Amino acid sequence: MKFNKKLMIDLLILIVPIIIMLLLMPILPDKISIHRSITGTRSYIDKKYSFILGILPFVIYKLKYDKK
């Protein structure tokens, strides 16, 4: 049984950050600051949507290195 090296890297880049985010969920505050403007106003994301931040490394990786 042969393993596709690219597929394994893709899965690691997708799964590891999501697992880390799920482990951090219990200690995160209810609202997470994701942006602060020059005037000092902040944008927040709810804690239950923070797993989306774990998907960002995979999306960036695919956009940068996925050559078809």
Q: Where are the domains of the chain?
A: 5-65
Average pLDDT of span 35-39: 89
Report which of 58, 49, 59 is spatially closest to residue 28, judged by C-alpha positions.
Answer: 49
- Our separate counts of H helices and E strands in the chain read 2, 2
Answer yes or no: is pLDDT of 13 > 80: yes
pLDDT at 1: 54
Asked if 23 contacts 50 with a C-beta cutoff of 8 angstroms, the reply is no
pLDDT at 54: 77
pLDDT band at 30 (very low <50, low <70, confident <90, very high): very high
Q: What is the pTM of this model?
A: 0.63
Answer yes or no: is pLDDT of 25 > 80: yes
Residue 39 has what DSSP assignment? T
Query: Between helices 5-24 and 51-65, what is the axis angle to 10°?
Result: 160
Residue type, 19: I
